[in-house]
């Protein structure tokens, strides 16, 4: 470049006081002259702000597929982030659930009285998921997050929701594919026991780790099945009769009440 803009020209151009022709000349020159560009007075505050705005668009934490999906279906950014950040055990549970339900379906179609397998597994699917979703021992980041303001019930319920939604969808789908099922009401016989057990697990977690509470409730379920199966004249399917359903509903209401009271009191 054989010539450069003068100090005066640069200042007038930057201050927007140059006349049209001088401005055109300055512009034609600046396009190609790094030296004069570097001397052009700049508004540092504006430059910093502008960079901060830009940086926040180009430099963000990477968002996983699940988080993007949750945002896409309209969840708030923070909620999506909290729901997507789940321990790996949760993913393992999701995979195992799909596997077990597929197996139960196959058995139900191939073996006489094979639908029993589905009947006894479906109610515990959400319970296992909840037990693995939150707390020391199952969540590696728990020690880091348990003393944040949002930890405790809010995170616990969020994680429970993250378990219940896929669990209920998967189990209902599987139930509708069962050979003997024809209506939706027949397909959800497992729902009340499942919800009651989840509520029981949440209620118990006041005194023990969530995973332990889940284990306890699950063991009780297993015990009930074994007792009913081993006793003459009784059948595990008694757990799903209309009378039993009424009891499950009552238990669910009571346990949900206990959980809510706890949250209020906390």
Partner 1 sequence: MLLSAVAAGETEALEILHRRHAPWLRARLRYRCSDNDQLDAALQETFLAVWRNAGSFTPRPGDSDAGAWLWTIAIRQLISQLRKRANRWIAESEPEPYETIGDASAEDTVLLNIEHGPLGAALHELSPELRSAIQATVLDGLTVREAAEILQIPEGTVKTRVMRAKARLREALTT
Partner 2 sequence: MTTGTTGEGVWTANRVSVSGLVRSYGTRRALDGIDLELGPGVTGLLGRNGAGKTTLMRCLATDLEASGGRMRVLGRDPERSADRTEIRRRMGYLPQFPSFYPHFTVFGLLDYVAVLKELGGRRERHDEVRRAMRRVDLYDRRHSRVRRLSGGMRQRLGLAAALLGDPELLLLDEPTIGLDPEQRIRFRDLVSELAVRSTVVLSTHQIEDVAALCRRVLCLDQGRVIFDGTPGELVARARGRVWEQGSRPEEGVTSWRLADGRYRVLVPEGVENPDSAARVPVEPSLEDAYLLLTGARSGTR
| Residue 266 binds which of partner 1, partner 2, none (CB < 5-8 A, kind-dependent) | partner 2
- Taken in order 76, 77, 79, 80, is the CA torsion positive or negative? positive
To partner 1, the closest distance from the beta carbon of 63 in angstroms equals 16
Residues 148-167 that bind partner 2 (CB under 8 A): 148-151, 155
When the beta carbons of 58 and 147 are compared against partner 1, the nearer one is 58
- Nearest of 98, 89, 100 to residue 211 by alpha carbon: 89
- By CB under 8 A, tell whether 77 contacts partner 1: no
Binding-site size for partner 1 (CB under 8 A) equals 34
- By CB under 8 A, tell whether 58 contacts partner 2: no
> Which of 11, 12, 37, 81 contacts partner 2 by CB under 8 A?
81
CA 68 – CA 51 distance, rounded (Å): 25
- By CB under 8 A, tell whether 256 contacts partner 1: no
Tokens of 33: 């002259």
- By CB under 8 A, tell whether 45 contacts partner 2: no
Provide the 3-class DSSP secondary structure of residue 60: coil
State the angle between helix axes of 65-72 and 77-84 in degrees (0 to 180), rounded to the nearest 10.
Answer: 140
| SS3 track for 186-247 | HHCCCHHHHHHHHHHHHHHCCCCCHHHHHHHHHHHHHHHHHHHHHCCCCCHHHHHCHHHHHH
Residues 19-48 that bind partner 1 (CB under 8 A): 20-25, 27-34, 37-38, 40-43, 46-47
Cβ neighbours of 154 (radius 10 Å): 12
> Which of 60, 183, 185, 231 contacts partner 2 by CB under 8 A?
60
Tokens of 241: 């009769």
Residues 107-146 as x/- pattern, contact with partner 2 by CB under 8 A: ---------------------------------xx-xxxx
> Which of 7, 8, 45, 57 contacts partner 1 by CB under 8 A?
57
Cβ neighbours of 190 (radius 10 Å): 25
- By CB under 8 A, tell whether 65 contacts partner 2: no
- By CB under 8 A, tell whether 8 contacts partner 1: no
- By CB under 8 A, tell whether 7 contacts partner 1: no
- Nearest of 9, 44, 16 to residue 30 by alpha carbon: 9
- Taken in order 68, 72, 73, 79, is the CA torsion positive or negative? positive
Tokens of 7: 């100090």
- By CB under 8 A, tell whether 99 contacts partner 1: no
| Residue 88 binds which of partner 1, partner 2, none (CB < 5-8 A, kind-dependent) | partner 2
Binding residues for partner 1 (CB under 8 A): 3, 13-14, 16, 20-25, 27-34, 37-38, 40-43, 46-47, 50-51, 53-55, 57-59
Binding residues for partner 2 (CB under 8 A): 52, 56, 59-63, 77-78, 81-82, 85, 87-88, 140-141, 143-151, 155, 265-266
């Amino acid at each position: 470049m054989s010539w450069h803009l003068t100090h005066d020209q640069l200042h007038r151009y930057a201050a927007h006081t140059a006349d049209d022709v001088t401005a055109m000349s300055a512009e034609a020159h600046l396009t190609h002259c790094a030296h004069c560009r570097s001397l052009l007075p700049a508004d540092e505050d504006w430059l910093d702000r502008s960079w901060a705005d830009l940086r926040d668009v180009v430099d963000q934490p990477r968002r996983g597929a699940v988080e993007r999906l949750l945002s896409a279906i309209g969840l708030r950014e923070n909620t999506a982030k909290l729901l997507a950040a789940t321990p790996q055990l949760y993913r393992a549970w999701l995979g195992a659930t799909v596997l077990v339900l597929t197996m139960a379906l196959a058995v139900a179609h191939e073996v006489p009285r094979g639908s029993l397998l589905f009947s006894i597994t479906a109610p515990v699917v959400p319970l296992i998921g909840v037990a693995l979703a939150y707390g020391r021992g199952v969540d590696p980041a728990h020690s880091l997050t348990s003393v944040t303001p949002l930890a405790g019930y809010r995170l616990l319920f969020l994680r429970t929701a993250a378990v219940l939604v896929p669990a209920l969808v998967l189990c209902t789908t599987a139930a509708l594919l069962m050979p003997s099922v024809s209506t939706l009401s027949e397909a959800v016989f497992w729902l009340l026991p499942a919800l009651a057990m989840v509520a029981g697990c949440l209620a118990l977690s006041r005194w023990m780790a969530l995973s332990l509470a889940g284990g306890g409730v699950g063991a009780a379920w297993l015990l009930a099945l074994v007792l009913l199966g081993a006793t003459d004249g009784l059948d595990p399917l008694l757990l799903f009769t209309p009378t039993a359903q009424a009891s499950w509903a009552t238990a669910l209401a009571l346990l949900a009440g206990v959980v809510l009271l706890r949250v209020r009191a906390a």
